[in-house]
Amino acid sequence: MLGAREAEAPDYVRPDDLAEALRLRRQGAQIIAGGTDFYPVRVGRPLRAPQTTILDLTALAPLRGMAPDGAFHRIGALTTWTEISESALPAQFHCLQAAAREVGGRQIQNRATIGGNLCNASPAADGVPALLALGAEVELLSEAGARRLKLAEFILGPRKTALHDDEILAAILVPRPQGEAISAFYKLGARRYLVISIVMAAGWLDIVDGRIAAARIAIGACSPVAQRLPKLEAELRGRAVDSDLAKLAHAGQLDGLAPIDDVRASAEYRSEAALIVLKRLLAELAP
């Protein structure tokens, strides 16, 4: 006879058919991918209500891999951080590949997925500023069809997204640049590796005829959701890419941030560090 805990344990399913996964999702199944966030955030808590079905997506081949797709570069939601960091990608993806190498340790990178990083919606998620800088959108699937959202519209707050109860995050779509795009990522933590961010920044520049045709700069771990810096982006447009870029950064461009006090750093420290990190990011983007 099963014990009480075993009798109430949720069912676990791992379909290899997307239609079946969407059917289970409509019926209320709870998603798991790499599982590196799923279990740690539930220490001392029930997984959910008894008999909730755990839907493991890792056998769904259509949700893996990276490839050009029309005007976008498509990244399957189940693509791991190791796959991202080790792939031969265009220069505009350097920020995402640098972020991929900062996600936990090697074992975590081998298992954790880019889609899980977004759906977990941590304010300190390493992938989010890089994807904001890349102008990413997300593709969400349900039995009713597909819809797309800009990443900034998908992540609504700490541990909160716009994913509907019947949907699965299928892919991240990164638009192709007009010119020759470059990007960079900079992270500040209490130590070099295996650390949650205190401040991080990602930048993307689209270069046409030696000048910045478009810019996207994002800061993470300094507000409930990582944010772009539109004032700085406007000041960058039209400028030559040179060593003076770092001089453009100033505190007024960080007005929208809302850093907090926690065990890693004070709000005051984060505010000061954000400007320094931003200048170092711009210096890295310059030749």
Find the radius of gyration of the CA atoms of the chain: 20
Query: By mean pLDDT, which of 2-6, 20-24, 91-95, 242-246 is the weakest?
Result: 2-6
User: What is the average per-residue pLDDT within 126-152?
Assistant: 97
Q: For residue 136, is pLDDT > 90?
A: yes
Residue 139 has φ and ψ, to the nearest 5°, of -110, 125
Q: Are 71 and 28 in contact (CB under 8 A)?
A: no
Residues in the chain: 287
| Residue 75 to residue 62: CA distance in whole angstroms | 10
Residue 191 has φ and ψ, to the nearest 5°, of -150, 180
Residue 221 tokens, joined:
């771990």
Structural domains of the chain in order of their starting residue, each with its CATH number: 4-56 (3.30.43), 180-285 (3.30.390.50)
| Residue 140 to residue 169: CA distance in whole angstroms | 5
**Pairing mode, strands 199-208 and 211-220:** antiparallel
**Pairing mode, strands 66-69 and 72-76:** antiparallel
CA-based nearest residue to 140, from 53, 38, 31, 217: 31
Share of residues in the chain with pLDDT > 90 (%): 80
The model carries a pTM of 0.92
Q: For residue 155, is pLDDT > 80?
A: yes
CA-based nearest residue to 18, from 168, 163, 132, 146: 168
The three-class DSSP label of residue 110 is helix
Maximal CA-CA distance, the chain? 74
Q: What is the pLDDT of residues 185-194, one digit of tens each?
A: 999 976 666 7
Residue 149 tokens, joined:
């959202």
Q: pLDDT category, 28, cuts 50, 70, 90?
A: very high
Q: For residue 66, is pLDDT > 80?
A: yes
Q: What is the pLDDT of residues 74-132, one digit of tens each?
A: 999 999 999 999 999 999 999 999 999 999 889 999 999 999 999 999 999 999 999 99
Q: Are 228 and 193 in contact (CB under 8 A)?
A: no
| Residue 99 to residue 2: CA distance in whole angstroms | 45
| Residue 157 to residue 168: CA distance in whole angstroms | 19
Q: How many CB atoms lie within 10 A of CB 31?
A: 20
Question: What DSSP state is assigned to residue 54?
Answer: E
Residues with Cβ within 8 Å of 34's Cβ and at least 6 positions away in sequence, in order, are 58, 80, 111, 112, 113, 116
Q: Are 155 and 127 in contact (CB under 8 A)?
A: no
Q: Are 78 and 64 in contact (CB under 8 A)?
A: yes
Residue pointed to by tokens 């390493």: 126
Q: Check residue 51 and give its pLDDT.
A: 64
Residue 203 has φ and ψ, to the nearest 5°, of -135, 145
